[in-house]
């Protein structure tokens, strides 16, 4: 290749780059109505280590567990062989989401998030009586998170989809 030809290629590349940068449309931004901007913080006031009782409800099944000497033991259904680590995983998946996205639920739009008739419920109780009742709705469009809300709250929280995975494993172990 000759020098003049190489210079023509470089000049063409520079002109096309300048044209591209000058005419590139701005990247789209997600428009949210006023008062609906996301906040990232811990959506629940409890820490996983403070929880002493757990009630899990999904698919018509229920599992109750209590923490005894630092390990989870299933109280109901009696004789269910649910690994303690699975209960810990569910509790951590809900409470250790300190960067969860929180959006104020618009009036009358609970069905859009699967929260009109929640698919699952997790009730976490501490020894001092504090309790959090979490309803799980449907997955987000990207299938990477699940919509959740504290019972009676107008905030929708996006929790990692792993909470559904662990909940499903607990329910399968309890009914096996």
pLDDT given for residue 72 in this prediction: 86
In SS3 terms, 111-130 reads as HHHCCCCCCEEEEEEECCCC
Q: How confident is the model at residue 99 (pLDDT cuts 50, 70, 90)?
A: low
pLDDT tens string 13-40: 999 989 888 887 765 554 455 554 444 4
Instruction: Report if residue 24 sits inside a domain.
Output: no
pTM greater than the 0.75 cutoff: no
137: its two tokens: 């709705």
Range of the domain at 149: 39-175
The residue ranking higher by pLDDT, 26 or 165, is 165
Bridge partners of 73? 66
Phi, psi of 85 (to 5 degrees): -65, -30
The CATH number that applies at residue 159 is 2.60.40
Instruction: Report if residue 12 sits inside a domain.
Output: no
% of the chain beyond a pLDDT of 90 = 6
Query: Is the pLDDT assigned to residue 100 strictly greater than 80?
Result: no
Work out how many domains the chain is built from and give that number: 1
């Amino acid at each position: 290749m000759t020098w003049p030809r190489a210079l023509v290629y470089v000049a063409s590349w520079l002109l096309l780059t300048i044209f591209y940068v000058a005419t590139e449309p701005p990247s789209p931004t997600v428009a949210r109505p006023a008062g609906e901007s996301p906040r990232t913080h811990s959506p629940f006031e409890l820490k996983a280590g403070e929880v002493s009782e757990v009630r899990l409800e999904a698919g018509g099944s229920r599992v109750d567990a209590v923490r005894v000497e630092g390990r989870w033991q299933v109280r109901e259904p009696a004789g269910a062989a649910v690994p303690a680590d699975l209960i810990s995983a569910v509790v951590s998946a809900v409470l250790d989401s300190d960067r969860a996205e929180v959006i104020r639920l618009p009036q009358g739009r609970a069905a859009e998030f699967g929260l009109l008739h929640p698919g699952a419920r997790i009730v976490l109780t501490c020894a001092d009586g504090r309790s959090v009742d979490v309803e799980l709705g449907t997955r987000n469009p990207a299938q990477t998170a699940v919509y959740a809300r504290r019972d009676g709250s107008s905030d929708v929280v996006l929790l990692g989809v792993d909470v559904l995975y662990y909940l499903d494993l607990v329910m399968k172990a309890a009914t096996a």
